[in-house]
């Protein structure tokens, strides 16, 4: 084989390897982008259901404030909790990447959950209020929204887990940083105030009588 043909053969092998390598890196890049988009889509759904709950709060406050002598401190608490949620600023355009900002968002939402729980418990002391169609409708809407929040938080955590796992596995871990991919925070396990408010009421139950 002449030197010219040998050079062309070596050059061709290098070109082929370069193409294979480029396709390999491209496939890694595309997979990470797909997983990242999955977390962004899941986050959008989380925001939608949280916004739905925030939109229900003013109507709920207006409804219960119409009850005579309803506890003003409870109304103040839930109004302030809703305002606190609105003050948490997260970057637009996708799921948050800053764990501290994410924790602030989760904490504010947990405070609103707790305030809603306490308001609904207090409402039980006002049978004329809980018997109205308006309150019952808001109660049903809130219950459905809280269930959706739980579902969407779970789906978001699943999407983030898949994404975080992918960027830490070989060979993607070599290129993840170069492509601008970093681990994203999860929602914490729901305990205490983070649990959906109890919105089931047994209006037909008679109060227990004290034993002599």
Tally Cβ neighbours within 10 Å of residue 52: 15
212 domain residue, yes or no: no
Token pair recorded at residue 11? 């050059």
pLDDT at 211 over 70: no
- Do residues 86 and 175 touch, judged by C-beta distance below 8 A? no
Q: Rounded CA gap, 120 and 103, in Å?
A: 26
List Cβ<8 Å contacts ≥24 apart for 64-70: 64/119, 64/123, 64/126, 64/129, 64/135, 66/129, 67/123, 67/126, 67/128, 67/129, 70/122, 70/126, 70/129
1 domain residue, yes or no: no
pLDDT of residue 195: 47
Q: Rounded CA gap, 120 and 132, in Å?
A: 14
Identify the residue whose tokens are 């109205």: 132
Cut 0.95: pTM above it:
no
pLDDT of residue 210: 38
pLDDT of residue 137: 94
What is the extent of the structural domain holding 98?
7-194
159 domain residue, yes or no: yes
Token pair recorded at residue 135? 């309150």
Give residue 190's pLDDT band: very low, low, confident or very high (50, 70, 90). low
97 domain residue, yes or no: yes
pLDDT tens digits along 49-75: 999 999 999 999 999 888 878 888 999
Q: Which is more confident, 8 or 116?
A: 116
199 domain residue, yes or no: no
Average pLDDT of the residues of the chain = 84
Q: Domain holding 103: CATH number? A: 1.20.1440.20
**Which stretch of 53-62, 73-82, 186-195 has the lowest confidence by average pLDDT?**
186-195
53 domain residue, yes or no: yes
pLDDT tens digits along 129-175: 988 999 999 989 999 999 999 999 999 999 999 999 999 989 888 88
Q: Rounded CA gap, 36 and 33, in Å?
A: 5
- Do residues 161 and 130 touch, judged by C-beta distance below 8 A? no
2 domain residue, yes or no: no
203 domain residue, yes or no: no
Q: How many domains does the chain have?
A: 1
């Amino acid at each position: 084989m002449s030197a010219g043909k040998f050079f062309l053969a070596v050059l061709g092998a290098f070109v082929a390897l370069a193409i294979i390598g480029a396709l390999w890196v491209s496939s890694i890049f595309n997979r990470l982008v797909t997983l990242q988009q999955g977390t962004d889509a899941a986050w959008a759904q989380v925001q939608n259901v949280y916004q739905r709950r925030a939109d229900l709060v003013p109507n709920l406050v207006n409804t219960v404030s119409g009850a005579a002598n309803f506890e003003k401190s409870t109304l103040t608490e839930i109004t302030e909790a809703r305002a606190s949620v609105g003050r948490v600023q997260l970057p637009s355009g996708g799921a948050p990447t800053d764990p501290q900002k994410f924790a602030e968002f989760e904490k504010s939402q947990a405070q609103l959950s707790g305030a809603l729980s306490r308001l609904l418990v207090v409402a039980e002391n006002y049978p004329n209020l809980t018997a109205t169609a308006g309150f019952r409708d808001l109660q049903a809407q809130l219950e459905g929204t809280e269930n959706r929040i739980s579902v969407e938080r779970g789906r978001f955590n699943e999407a983030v887990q898949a994404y975080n796992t992918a960027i830490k596995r070989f060979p993607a871990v070599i290129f993840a940083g170069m492509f601008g991919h970093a681990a994203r925070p999860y929602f914490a396990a729901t305990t205490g105030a983070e649990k959906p408010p109890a919105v089931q009421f047994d209006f037909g139950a008679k109060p227990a009588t004290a034993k002599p």
